[in-house]
Structure 1
């Protein structure tokens, strides 16, 4: 019999529902339960692919090419399992499916309504989950207009299922008011009241706070939230979010869930291997999306899970306004650089200056997606002498279009879900640094791009440049150039794909481990 844990949020968004869901799912998995997860996003976008990273954070791409909310990244990293499009529902998907069915005559002349037609579609999607326990995160906060139909759907489904198959957990924020030196529970009380008006009663309340709350606060939340005191769980801020799995275990959350859902658990083989010590290497993430810390979440977590302190995000647009000498001075304080992906012209010249600095000063650098394309542009301009070399994305009239729109993309009219997406097979060439890192001749990596290296017209870039000692080589290829590197450089690697999307706890992607190792070697040599 399938069980369901529905996690809702209150007071404000961004308090860590996704981390809690991922941690709880991993804890149950460690106790021998087959777990599945589902993120419900109430927005009307069909997926997250067209959403601005400055507003919504990164777009996480699954193996099957689905562009998802970043919470699926949390689920993958914590659970150690690949997610797919089945692990995400958006309101846009639901309404699109209902309208299409109506247009196809699927409702036999009925007046199509929110209840029962929209709610039935949501329930169908939820009930199709195949886990023994299915953890369902409803995005946003209780009280949001767009969330109401999802709350109604889970209310109905819980009534339709046998008693004991559903558990409701409400995650709220309890602020500390410094002027009166007390934790304030009123926002949580009101949030629970909103949940009750939707016909749902929480079985457990998880209160997030900056610091640990006192026992009086726990009692007050239990009283007004209508749950036993032992079902109020406090999760204060922690420096390492991966420690939350152990924290939940120590609070016996798994046993409390097991009692509610009548589950048999075995935590005797519990093992949670995450980094606890970190190398103190300064890595600059030369970025352009600075509106939220989540814009480069998977890259940042990949470095962290590879055992290094998190990289520092610096504004590529600021570098654009500096002279090259000023850029060199600014970046000299870092041990290595990462140039991440992105779209649009803003900040591009700043990133190119950073790449030039890393090349000329032999500073370890990893270019991801757009980062690799900019490496090729910088090389074409400053080594091969192709003045004005560029991508047609930024300059359609460039005399040297070393990066160009993929042929298949020239026929695409819609933006959503039309890029080269998901797992793609590629061949790695022996004798390259990439071969040393992977140790295999073929592998698959996840992609999200429209532009490619224009190899057919500019293959000479990958031959010895005129009167210079640099040699740019292709280290991986599919139908496209997948990776490039400089032979004479300690670590100058550009990749068209997104390795950060495959990092798991206990299994960071080898490219990030290789970058950190290169930083160590670079430091030991005193370069």
Structure 2
């Protein structure tokens, strides 16, 4: 394994000498020699990162690919070296101390007294070695050289642990693997007019006293130093003359790598690292040409930078660099017109008119306007003014982060007026039992409050238990200042699918379309099929009872999507849905002992059901009751659907009852179980709950064609359903379970993650790791919910044959031309013919064959030619 080489850049005398640019230039120079380079910046402050610091403290917060908020010098590294760093490439005192304290709290130090030396210093060295080995250039393998910049100046108290650690580190990695470059100021005092070397001498003496010996002395100065000054520095700083380089002021920082090369700094570094004989000469041709091209730009391009921290250019350093890169590419000389956003505001115009006038002059003189990111409300109105000026006067505008938000706010204020915006206010009109009449005062006060906030309602939608008479509407119109025709009444209806028709019948759509200037360009609302579905739902009589065995049975909204999916499927099967709510814990033995009546009632509800559903969930409360419900469904041939946890429950029950593994469990409920049927997913987080699950749409591939789930989905090879879980079926248990008769009919793309289980010998016993309820729609019920209700109502065989396009009792169901699976158009009819000559069959026979929903659809003439064709 190759040895890592380290180049340390330190600074002396004063801060702000350009150590970051020097470190970046050294890295570029080594890259030009054919070496792979990474960088580390050490910031000796106690902050964990730069994310919470004001730009006035350390300049801009630079953001990395991994979300790290770091020092702006890492931006220099990435720009010069064209690499991608991580948050770990920025070491802070806060990070180091936090790491050490976390280890101490875990007991990693085995009772030792935790001290700065050796624990803090060791942590620093370990961090450097770990991060230095991580590739940052998109290639495999470790980099060759790590350039480390130590922030601050030599002698700072906060830097001492790092200096001690780096002294130990240089000794540990050994000569030939470590090179130290000290950047120091050689000032020129106006009173004497000559460079003064004493500050640098003292700085180097301090560095040596701390155990660090510089290989190279990089002297910052305003003008080029003569040989006598270099010789004096060499003599008193004990650095050989050829190892003293002069970083004098140049037209732009892109000249620094060439400046270092011309003074053969790379040769000194390579010799110190034992690399001189194995690398090529630095190839800086393209870089040098770019630096020279930048110097030769004449024609200006003026960009108004409208921000909050315009007094500190480093606050927007990356934005300035990006503008410079673009300007050079366009052969233009960049000129920044700094505009303090608050100076554009009306308050400044009143208090300091000269300041306001100067700000406007700078804005108007610009060829482009840029509003960068930021936080806080200071200057926000000025930024909005700048965005408006750019939009109205066709000035090129770029809004970054907050700058984009500013542009949206300005557009909404200026453009979204009449004809583009419609406000509908929903309010309650209650009926008090003591008076028995609708009370309009609550709605009046609500609308008054809305208007006081600057929002004027176009439509007032009044919720009530019964239909409001015209007198109430007139009163609301008079006191709420909303025209009578724009007051709609949303009274209670048998089911919410009637609401669109209710709104249509009161011409709410016309009021909305008129408000949006769309009335003349759209058609009348076509709600025939939707209305028929709502009416069909009202006319259902024959019940289907589903036992919902869960943890939150006292709150139906906890399972809202599941309930809606059950309703969609029930309407498609012409059954009236009845939910038997069963609190899972009420089925358990503990409840039977403590509250036998509660236990008996739960069992009665479970046994009275035509189907059992165990939905998703977390936590161990009620788990044993859910296992009991799954067992009851399996043993008594009751249709069962287990969703997410409900599938895991079914697997645990099967392992206990059929495999004889009495202690089988999920590691969620028993981390020490010896028969882990369900385990924590490797990519999950056990410490952070939010956003760490397997979430969103994932693909499931069917591994059996004869299974019910595949047939319900129309024998597709794969499906996409939504997931939300941290635990999964243990793949090591799958062979045992399959051998015992439990089929894993759906798996992920790897074949290792179990997505669907079935019992082939059972009328309908299905468990899925995903959540099919989230994609169920009215008129397009979820396949698996449709299967559950069909099984519960004795229609599953017919449904399966319809879904797969096979004959059933003299009927053939063909797939829709639209490509949707058959259950999406369940009950739709195009044409019906008799056995003889295509004559239309008698209506009574037809109604009995189709059921009430099919007959209503046929009668209302809603069937499209490309929907499912039901042919005799």
TM-score greater than 0.5 by the shorter chain: yes
Structure 1 stretch displaced more, 258-267 or 62-71: 258-267
Normalized per residue, which structure has more helix? 2
Change over 3 Å in CA distance of 1:79–1:399 after alignment to 2? farther
1:290 aligns with 2:302: no
1:315 aligns with 2:340: yes
* Residue matched to 1:102: 104
- State the SS of the aligned residue for 2:50: coil
* Residue matched to 2:221: 209
- TM-superposed CA distance for 1:162, in Å, is 2.8
Cα distance in 1 for residues equivalent to 2:339 and 2:35: 42
- TM-superposed CA distance for 1:328, in Å, is 5.2
Which one of the candidate residues 289, 301, 308 is aligned to 2:321? 301
* Residue matched to 1:266: 280
Structure 1 stretch displaced more, 211-220 or 363-372: 211-220
Structure 1 stretch displaced more, 152-161 or 40-49: 152-161
Cα distance in 1 for residues equivalent to 2:375 and 2:322: 21
What does 1:59-78 align with in structure 2 at a 5 Å threshold?
59-78=61-80
- State the SS of the aligned residue for 2:108: coil
Which one of the candidate residues 236, 239, 246 is aligned to 1:234? 246
1:92 aligns with 2:117: no
Contact 2:337 2:362 (C-alpha < 8 Å) held by counterparts: no
Instruction: Give the TM-score normalised by structure 2.
Output: 0.44
- State the SS of the aligned residue for 1:176: coil
Cα distance in 2 for residues equivalent to 1:399 and 1:4: 63
* Residue matched to 1:187: 199
The structure whose RCO (Cα within 8 Å, separation 6+) is larger is 1
1:345 aligns with 2:377: yes
Cα distance in 1 for residues equivalent to 2:314 and 2:255: 19
Change over 3 Å in CA distance of 1:97–1:349 after alignment to 2? same
1:334 aligns with 2:359: no
Change over 3 Å in CA distance of 1:103–1:287 after alignment to 2? same
* Residue matched to 1:177: 189
Which one of the candidate residues 7, 11, 14 is aligned to 2:13? 11
- TM-superposed CA distance for 1:290, in Å, is 3.1
Cα distance in 2 for residues equivalent to 1:329 and 1:201: 54
* Residue matched to 1:486: none
- State the SS of the aligned residue for 1:207: strand
Cα distance in 1 for residues equivalent to 2:255 and 2:367: 27
- TM-superposed CA distance for 1:224, in Å, is 1.5
Cα distance in 2 for residues equivalent to 1:25 and 1:118: 28
* Residue matched to 1:365: 397
Cα distance in 1 for residues equivalent to 2:364 and 2:337: 14
- State the SS of the aligned residue for 1:18: helix
Contact 2:339 2:363 (C-alpha < 8 Å) held by counterparts: no
- State the SS of the aligned residue for 1:183: coil
- State the SS of the aligned residue for 1:177: coil
Change over 3 Å in CA distance of 1:310–1:105 after alignment to 2? farther
* Residue matched to 2:494: none
* Residue matched to 1:354: 386
Change over 3 Å in CA distance of 1:100–1:11 after alignment to 2? same
- TM-superposed CA distance for 1:268, in Å, is 6.0
Change over 3 Å in CA distance of 1:322–1:215 after alignment to 2? same
Contact 2:369 2:396 (C-alpha < 8 Å) held by counterparts: yes
Contact 1:207 1:235 (C-alpha < 8 Å) held by counterparts: yes
Structure 1 stretch displaced more, 67-76 or 213-222: 213-222
Cα distance in 1 for residues equivalent to 2:402 and 2:335: 21
Cα distance in 2 for residues equivalent to 1:256 and 1:330: 48
Cα distance in 1 for residues equivalent to 2:118 and 2:374: 41
* Residue matched to 1:157: 169
Larger radius of gyration: 2
Contact 1:205 1:231 (C-alpha < 8 Å) held by counterparts: yes
- TM-superposed CA distance for 1:174, in Å, is 1.0
Contact 1:219 1:229 (C-alpha < 8 Å) held by counterparts: yes
- State the SS of the aligned residue for 1:73: helix
Change over 3 Å in CA distance of 1:3–1:399 after alignment to 2? farther
* Residue matched to 1:32: 34
Cα distance in 1 for residues equivalent to 2:517 and 2:46: 54
1:194-224 Cα offsets, whole Å, 9 max, x none, are 1112111111110101111222211121112
Q: Which runs of 5+ in 1 are unaligned?
A: 390-396, 401-463, 468-527
Structure 1 stretch displaced more, 20-29 or 305-314: 305-314
Change over 3 Å in CA distance of 1:383–1:64 after alignment to 2? same
What does 1:468-507 align with in structure 2 at a 5 Å threshold?
none
Q: CA RMSD in A?
A: 2.2
Structure 1 stretch displaced more, 152-161 or 377-386: 377-386
1:213-246 Cα offsets, whole Å, 9 max, x none, are 2222111211121100111111111121011111
1:137 aligns with 2:149: yes
Cα distance in 1 for residues equivalent to 2:60 and 2:148: 21
* Residue matched to 1:281: 301
1:164-203 Cα offsets, whole Å, 9 max, x none, are 2111110011110111111111111111111112111111
Change over 3 Å in CA distance of 1:380–1:161 after alignment to 2? same
Change over 3 Å in CA distance of 1:113–1:359 after alignment to 2? same
Contact 1:24 1:254 (C-alpha < 8 Å) held by counterparts: yes
Cα distance in 1 for residues equivalent to 2:398 and 2:157: 43
Contact 1:303 1:310 (C-alpha < 8 Å) held by counterparts: no
Cα distance in 1 for residues equivalent to 2:216 and 2:390: 51
Q: Which runs of 5+ in 2 are unaligned?
A: 134-142, 422-451, 456-514, 519-872
1:196 aligns with 2:208: yes
- TM-superposed CA distance for 1:85, in Å, is 1.4
Instruction: Give the TM-score normalised by structure 1.
Output: 0.72
Contact 2:41 2:91 (C-alpha < 8 Å) held by counterparts: yes
Change over 3 Å in CA distance of 1:111–1:382 after alignment to 2? same
Cα distance in 2 for residues equivalent to 1:75 and 1:14: 16
Number of corresponding residues: 395
1:54-94 Cα offsets, whole Å, 9 max, x none, are 22100000011100000000000000111111311001000
Contact 1:189 1:224 (C-alpha < 8 Å) held by counterparts: yes
What does 1:386-405 align with in structure 2 at a 5 Å threshold?
none
Cα distance in 1 for residues equivalent to 2:117 and 2:180: 22
Contact 1:54 1:290 (C-alpha < 8 Å) held by counterparts: no
- TM-superposed CA distance for 1:132, in Å, is 1.1
Change over 3 Å in CA distance of 1:380–1:117 after alignment to 2? same
- TM-superposed CA distance for 1:329, in Å, is 4.6
- State the SS of the aligned residue for 2:184: strand
